[in-house]
């Protein structure tokens, strides 16, 4: 299997109808409650094993998920604290007040660092492993934070932010990837959202701490120093934990993979584990290559030439682009300015409420993502965002606010009015719809790619995210000045409308599907209808399985229950 065309035929296309109707096969009567064997590909000898032996999530998986998602917290905290730190820095750097341009450079340094490291993190994770790369990001966080805490010059601060950004980029890419590779399929979405919860929670905490430390002397140094705690915790925990089974299989370390799977699926029989490993090996053969550069070349080639991979790439990058270009981070970075503009005195408090809405609705997404489905929440979220943005645009029109001054955020304020309330209310509604759908779903990107190209594929998507974040952060205030707030919000609304159409046409429902099944769905089109049917089928199978487990548990309980006489005696 050396060339691309051969590889693509191995995970060859089937039409979903085949999957749902003839290729789903329950094994023998007794086994039916423990496992389902599906034949997802053309090769009749091939099997895709869903380990459904034990529906309860093992504590081991929870520990791995929580450890990995500390990266999400770092992402949120480190991008969140800067807005208040910039206010309280005062003249602490070089003995003078930071100019508006200085502030932009310090803020953008992290996004730039994240963009650069996201490009390399995927391939490094394929070479060295997911876990070692995440641990390396901890080292970068420590170095970056140490440079900032001790900074007395603008450049030391900027370099500290850049190095911290390298860490953020690695973590933003690898934490969701790690989680999706260890998660059982029926809760994969949810476990990946744990990372987003930590992320939005990190932003909220950073805003809160920032507000609290605002007046404290050198408070910003404490704010940065606090970020050392989670990173040290993550590093220490990872020292005792393994990498993902899919990575071990990729490296041919089958025993290690079996060991992780065994701990993840308590009581699963070893033949089932072996079968799963065989399947992972068959469907995810490592990309050939004489050396890392040759391998990288082949991976990039495979990403673009295998149709299912290319479709995955289009979806993954588009979702990350949409996430950024619908304008959310402009609010994250500049909500204080906007709220001040519309006449709110305590703008920091309102910003905290917006970040809080983002967090609360990420929690809603946590419950909805596997049950309601990714596609459904996207198609609820994007139109909701569009309507809220239109309402904001209208309200800004009546507020008659002008942002003036080249490169500054000075404002000719129309003063507080009821249109100001409309802006705040709809920014919150916007935040809610954002967090429910597009704020959360793009980070499920790892499930789009097979292991062989997952690292590089998700690198491209994450780099798109950071490039978008960089562009929006550096153009938002200029847009407010040049095309007015009404124009800016209308533009975001138009982008939300186009994005809705894109998702409707191109984003299949992937909840409940095995990672390996996703490639099948994408092999000969976006197969929206087929994906919805397969996801529905998997959901039904899952609830059926859970019902059986409950019945079995109840039976066992009845059997083991001490008799009334025994209890009386």
Residues 438-457 that bind ligand INS (CB under 6 A): 439, 443
Note whether 393 binds ligand INS by CB under 6 A: no
Least distance to ligand INS, CB of residue 328, Å: 6
Instruction: Locate 40 and state its tokens.
Output: 């997802």
Question: Do 61 and 190 meet the contact criterion of CB atoms below 8 Å apart?
Answer: no
Query: DSSP string covering 274-319, please?
Result: HHHHHHHHHHTPPPP-SSHHHHHHHHHHHHHHSHHHHHHHHHHHHH
Which CB sits closer to ligand INS, 258 or 317? 317
Is the dihedral angle over the CA atoms 191, 193, 196, 200 positive or is it negative? negative
**299 touches ligand INS by CB under 6 A:** no
Helices (H) and strands (E) in the chain, counts: 24, 5
| 122 near ligand INS, judged by CB under 6 A | no
**Which of the residues 319 through 358 are near ligand INS (CB under 6 A)?**
323, 328-329, 332, 358
CB of 539 to ligand INS, least distance (A): 25
Q: Tokens 């909840």 label which residue?
A: 511
Query: 247 vs 434, which CB is nearer to ligand INS?
Result: 434
Q: Is 528:508 a contact under the CB 8 Å cutoff?
A: yes
Is 261 or 496 the residue whose CB approaches ligand INS more closely? Answer: 496
Interface with ligand INS, residue 200, by CB under 6 A: yes
Q: Helices 219-226 & 228-239, crossing angle to 10 degrees?
A: 20
308: its two tokens: 């299912």
Whichever of 129 and 171 has its CB closer to ligand INS, that residue is: 171
392 lies in the binding site for ligand INS (CB under 6 A): no
Q: Which is nearer to ligand INS, 115 or 268 (CB)?
A: 115
* CB nearer ligand INS, residue 445 or residue 465: 465
Distances (CA, A) of 171 to 329, 439, 466, 479, 489: 18, 17, 13, 31, 31
Judge whether 509 and 376 are in contact, CB under 8 Å. Answer: yes
Region binding ligand INS by CB under 6 A among candidate stretches 196-204, 396-404, 411-419, 516-524: 196-204
The least distance separating ligand INS from the CB of residue 408, rounded to whole angstroms, comes to: 24
- Kindly give, in sequence order, each residue whose CB lies less than 8 Å from that of residue 496, ignoring residues fewer than 6 positions away: 326, 382, 383, 385, 386, 389
Closer residue to ligand INS (CB): 182 or 199: 199
Q: Which residue is nearest to ligand INS (CB)?
A: 439
Token representation of residue 36: 């389902």
Sheet architecture: strand order including 48-51 = 24-25, 35-38, 48-51
Specify the length of the chain in residues.
569
Please say which residue, 171 or 343, places its beta carbon nearer to ligand INS: 171
Report the candidate in 72, 522, 30 with the shortest Cα–Cα distance to residue 308.
Answer: 522
Count of residues in contact with ligand INS, rule CB under 6 A = 13
Q: Under the criterion CB under 6 A, does residue 199 sit at the interface with ligand INS?
A: yes
Position among 67, 71, 107, 203 found at the interface with ligand INS (CB under 6 A): 203
CA dist 88 and 550 (Å) reads 56
Report the C-alpha gap between 180 and 175 in whole angstroms: 9
Question: Judged by CB under 6 A, does residue 469 bind ligand INS?
Answer: yes
Our finding on whether 520 is near ligand INS (CB under 6 A) is no
Q: Closest CB to ligand INS among 187 and 332?
A: 332
Site for ligand INS contains 382 (CB under 6 A): no
Q: Minimum distance from CB of 265 to ligand INS (Å)? A: 29
Among 195, 196, 264, 284, binds ligand INS (CB under 6 A): 196
The residues binding ligand INS (CB under 6 A) are 196, 199-200, 203, 323, 328-329, 332, 358, 439, 443, 465, 469
């Amino acid at each position: 299997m050396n060339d691309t065309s051969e590889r693509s035929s191995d995970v060859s296309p089937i039409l979903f109808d085949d999957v749902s109707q003839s290729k789903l096969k329950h094994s023998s009567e007794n086994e039916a409650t423990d496992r389902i064997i599906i034949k997802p590909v053309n090769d009749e000898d091939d099997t895709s094993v869903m380990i459904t032996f034990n529906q309860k999530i093992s504590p081991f998986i929870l520990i791995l998920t929580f450890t990995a998602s500390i990266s999400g917290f770092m992402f949120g905290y480190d991008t969140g604290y800067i807005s208040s730190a910039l206010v309280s820095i005062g003249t602490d750097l070089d003995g003078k007040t930071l100019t508006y341009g200085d502030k932009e450079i310090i803020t953008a340094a992290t996004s730039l660092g994240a963009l650069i490291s996201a490009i390399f993190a995927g391939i490094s994770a394929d070479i060295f492993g997911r876990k070692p790369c995440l641990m390396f990001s901890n080292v970068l966080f420590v170095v970056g934070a140490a440079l900032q805490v001790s900074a007395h010059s603008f450049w030391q601060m900027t370099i500290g932010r850049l190095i911290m950004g390298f860490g953020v980029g690695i973590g933003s890419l690898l934490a969701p990837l790690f989680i999706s590779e260890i998660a059982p399929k029926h809760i994969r979405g949810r476990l990946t959202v744990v990372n987003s919860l930590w992320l939005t929670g990190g932003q909220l905490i950073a805003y809160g701490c920032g507000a609290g430390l605002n007046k404290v002397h050198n408070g910003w140094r404490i704010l940065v120093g606090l970020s050392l705690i989670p990173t040290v915790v993550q590093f220490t925990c990872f020292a005792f934990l393994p990498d993902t089974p899919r990575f071990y299989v990729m490296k041919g370390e089958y025993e290690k993979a079996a060991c992780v799977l065994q701990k993840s699926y308590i009581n699963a029989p070893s033949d089932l584990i072996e079968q799963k490993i065989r399947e992972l090996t068959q469907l995810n053969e490592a990309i050939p290559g004489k050396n890392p550069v040759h391998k990288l070349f082949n991976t990039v080639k495979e990403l673009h030439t295998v149709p299912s991979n290319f479709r995955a790439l289009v979806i993954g990058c588009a979702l990350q682009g949409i996430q950024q270009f619908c304008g959310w981070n402009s609010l994250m970075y500049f909500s204080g300015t906007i709220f001040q503009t519309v006449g709110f005195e305590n703008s920091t408090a309102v910003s905290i409420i917006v970040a809080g809405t983002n967090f609360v609705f990420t929690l809603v997404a946590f419950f909805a993502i596997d049950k309601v489905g990714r596609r459904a929440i996207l198609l609820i979220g994007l139109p909701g965002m569009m309507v809220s943005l239109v309402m904001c645009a209208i309200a800004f029109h009546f507020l008659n606010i002008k942002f003036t001054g080249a490169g500054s955020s000075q404002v000719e304020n129309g003063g507080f009015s009821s249109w100001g309330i409309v802006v705040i209310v709809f920014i919150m509604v916007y935040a809610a719809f954002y967090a429910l759908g597009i704020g959360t779903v793009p980070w499920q990107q790892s499930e789009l790619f097979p292991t062989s190209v997952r690292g590089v594929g998700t690198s491209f998507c994450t780099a798109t995210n950071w490039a978008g974040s960089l562009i929006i952060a550096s153009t938002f205030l200029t847009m407010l000045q040049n095309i007015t707030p009404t124009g800016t919000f209308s533009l975001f609304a138009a982008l939300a409308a186009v994005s809705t159409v894109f998702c409707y046409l191109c984003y299949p429902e992937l909840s409940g599907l095995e990672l390996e099944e996703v490639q099948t769905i994408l092999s000969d089109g976006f197969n929206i209808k087929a994906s919805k049917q397969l996801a529905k089928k998997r959901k039904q199978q899952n609830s059926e399985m859970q019902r059986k487990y409950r019945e079995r548990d109840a039976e066992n309980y009845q059997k083991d229950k001490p008799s009334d006489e025994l209890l009386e005696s």
